[in-house]
Amino acid sequence: VQLQASGGGLVRPGGSLRLSCAASGFNLDRYAVAWFRQAPGKEREGVACISARDGRTYYADAVKGRFTISADKAENTVYLQVNSPKPEDTAVYYCATEHYTPYCSSSWYILLPYQVWGQGTLVTVSS
């Protein structure tokens, strides 16, 4: 059971970027997947979550309206579309799954329950 995050890089403020999280060893239509990020010197924080069963999405207030999480079941991949990024969005982005439930919990942003983590992909927002 693995997650592979990719797609990070340098992006200008106001630009766009799409991060990918490819799953192997399990089907994403069975488990919810979340994106987290960790900026230098800060704690890891939840960014977004997508439920596998009904496709419902949840976002941190800091990214609501700018980021979009989606899933392609045929590709067994979850995406994070990053639009209008700001310098404060600079961080290593991780995808993760609890590998337990198809639904995002009401506390999806808490790290502890997540058992499977991708390796992280760096997003740098700078002009």
Give the model's pLDDT for residue 30: 92
Instruction: Using the predicted structure, report yes or no on whether residue 29 has a pLDDT greater than 90.
Output: no
Structure confidence at residue 6 as a pLDDT band (50, 70, 90): very high
DSSP H/E element including 86? none
Instruction: Using the predicted structure, report yes or no on whether residue 62 has a pLDDT greater than 90.
Output: yes
Helix, strand, coil shares, percent, the chain, to 5:
0, 45, 50
